[in-house]
Amino acid sequence: MTNYPVEMFNYNTWANHTILGRIGELSPSVLSQEVNSSFPTIAHALSHIYAVDTMWYLVLTGTGMPEAFQKTIPLNMRILNSVDEYANIFTQLSELYKEWLQNQSDLEQTILLDNPFAGIRQTRLSEIVLHAVNHGTYHRGNISTMLRQLGHASTMNDYSLFWYQVPTEAI
């Protein structure tokens, strides 16, 4: 039986590397070219995705959200110089998530999430994983738009393409 939070996490990892692969085909300057969009540059968008993914990982591993948010503010501001650097940090974080997921026996268990922007609620671990994936999907869409604004084609990184790109168990 498919564990959908894990499946979606695997999709998120694949999609991050797919968009990074496309950016890597272009001039290195594309990371730092300014564009009138949600983020000033593609590098800023990538740093934001990474920072938020890190924040949610910290929450999943027991850090309170206010503290996790504070710890990751510097990551949001840290702009890297190359696609390879972004690929490396995303890969490292993905490995941490994979290890954490492998050690979870019940992703439906809840934690008390103290979200400084929305309040306190009981939240399933699976909801947090799915939210992190959804957040990444949203901002990869921003990056695709930014690439087009800069005169470049993006690349398809939809979940439905992931089904065909990554071997899965027979249904």
Round to whole Å and give the CA distance between 155 and 19.
7
> What counts of helices (H) and strands (E) characterise the chain?
6, 2
Residue 84: both structure tokens together? 């390879």
Residue pair 83/31 in contact (Cβ under 8 Å)? The answer is: yes
Instruction: Name the burial class of residue 54, with classes exposed (0-12), middle (13-18) and buried (19+) by CB atoms within 10 angstroms of its CB.
Output: buried
- Measured distance between the N- and C-terminal CA atoms of the chain, rounded to whole angstroms: 9
135 annotated as a binding-site residue: yes
152 annotated as a binding-site residue: no
Round to whole Å and give the CA distance between 154 and 138.
14
17 annotated as a binding-site residue: no
* Known binding residues for a divalent metal cation: 48, 135, 139
Binding site: residue ranges? 48, 135, 139
